Structure formats: structure tokens, C-alpha cells
Amino acid sequence: MAPTALVVVSHHRPDSLTVHIGDVVAARLKEAGYEIDLLDLRAEGFDPRMTTADQPDWNDRDKAYSPEVRAHMERVLAADVIVPVFPVYWNSPPALLKGWVDRVWNYGFGYGRSRPRLAGKRMLWLGLAGASPDDDFTAWMDETLDRVLREGISHYNGIGEAAVKVLYDVEGEPQHVDEHGNFTKGEALTGAAREAHYAAMDRLAAAHVAAFLGLE
């Protein structure tokens, strides 16, 4: 039986680079022999706002959450590998993805048990950021995302094999913030240079997946 990969795409536009990279990731996983469950949170109409039905009950870790959330829990349980693909907003995932974690990775399911239900799964967080890779700020961004996502979510929910990777310069134009907080933006790529830039980004996204899963 083929392993299953849950690719979770979080963007409000269907024509976004995030959605495209999600397709690239899914294609690379399929090439490696995985069955793909592509979860586009926007397309499926997922509401990231917490509800009373899905609020944790600290006195009942076996609380029956809403049917929508229970369906998402089943998809997480069925996955051997989980790959969220998302834009980086203010050094964190967007509300759509954060709300999915808030509602679905809930008490009694994702955490709160001595034997975590998600133990043994692997998880690769793949973010897209407009900052340039050589900006001094990116090192701090990498550390922040790693602490919050790999340690604060994956590890906290029993997933020991997890990593965070970021694709930088997704706008195709250099962006820098200096030590005084001044923001500068260079000339946008055009023509063949722009096409080459995004083709390289596709290859890098696929390479991150392959390296994480030991496919190389």
C-alpha cells in the first residue's frame, strides 16, 4: 500500500504562487510513489475562526468536535507525510493555516495524550517569503518559523521528524530592510530572467521535498 501525503495549501487566491508551489510539491511526492491528498483550504471553504463546537474542553479530551473538524482530523491521521505550503505573513503562517491548526490539531487529538496520535508522521513546512535570501533579517525569520512551527506545533503534537524551509524572493525583486527599519525594493525581474527565476523556485521546492524525505 502506497504511503499518503497530505499537502495543505493556504492562500486566498487560486492563481497564487503558493497554490502553484503546492502543485509542484504534490507532483514531486506523487513521482516518489505517494498517494496525494491535496487540501486547498480556500477552495474547500475552511473557516479558520474558532467555534464553540471546536473549543477545547480541558475536562474532556475525548470531546466530539464538529463534523467538519472530525473530517479534517481523519485526513491528518491518514497521512504519513504532511506538507503545509503557505505565504509567510509577519514571520508566521497566514490566518487560514493558523486557524486550521487551531481548530483541527486540537486537545485530545493532536496533543494531550501520553501516546501522541500523530507520532511517527513526518512534516515539512514550506513557506514563501518576499524577503531576499541575503537579507540579515532572514536568519531571524528562519529561527522564528522553526521555533513556532517545528517545535511549537509539530514536536508539541508528537511529530519528531519535522523541518521548516522557506522559498525567498517570491516577488522576483530584491527586498531589504536595514538596521533602522528602512525598506528598499529593487527592480523587478522581467522576461526570460523572470521565467528562469520561477523555474528555479519550482526546482528548489521539489528539492526541499526530496531532501526531507531522503529521495535524493
Q: What is the pTM of this model?
A: 0.96
Residue with cell string 463546537: 53
Instruction: Tell whether the model's pLDDT for residue 216 goes beyond 80.
Output: no
Residue with cell string 523555474: 199
Task: Cell numbers for 110, please give them.
Answer: 493532536
* Mean pLDDT confidence for 93-112: 98
Task: Cell numbers for 173, please give them.
Answer: 525583486
Residues 7-62 pLDDT 10s: 999 999 999 999 999 999 999 999 999 999 999 999 999 999 999 999 999 999 99
Residues 143-158 pLDDT 10s: 999 999 999 999 999 9
| Mean pLDDT, rounded, of the chain | 95
* Mean pLDDT confidence for 210-216: 91
What are the φ and ψ backbone dihedral angles of 32, each rounded to 5 degrees?
Answer: -85, 0
Q: How far is the C-alpha of 148 from the C-alpha of 142, rounded, in Å?
A: 10
Domains of the chain, earliest start first: 4-213 (3.40.50.360)
Q: Measured in whole angstroms, how far is the alpha carbon of residue 48 from the centre of its chain?
A: 15
Q: Angle at the Cα of 113 (from 118 to 104), degrees rounded to 5?
A: 55
Instruction: Report the phi/psi class of residue 126: left, alpha or beta, with left for phi > 0 and alpha for psi in -120 to 50.
Output: beta
Q: What pLDDT is attached to residue 176?
A: 78
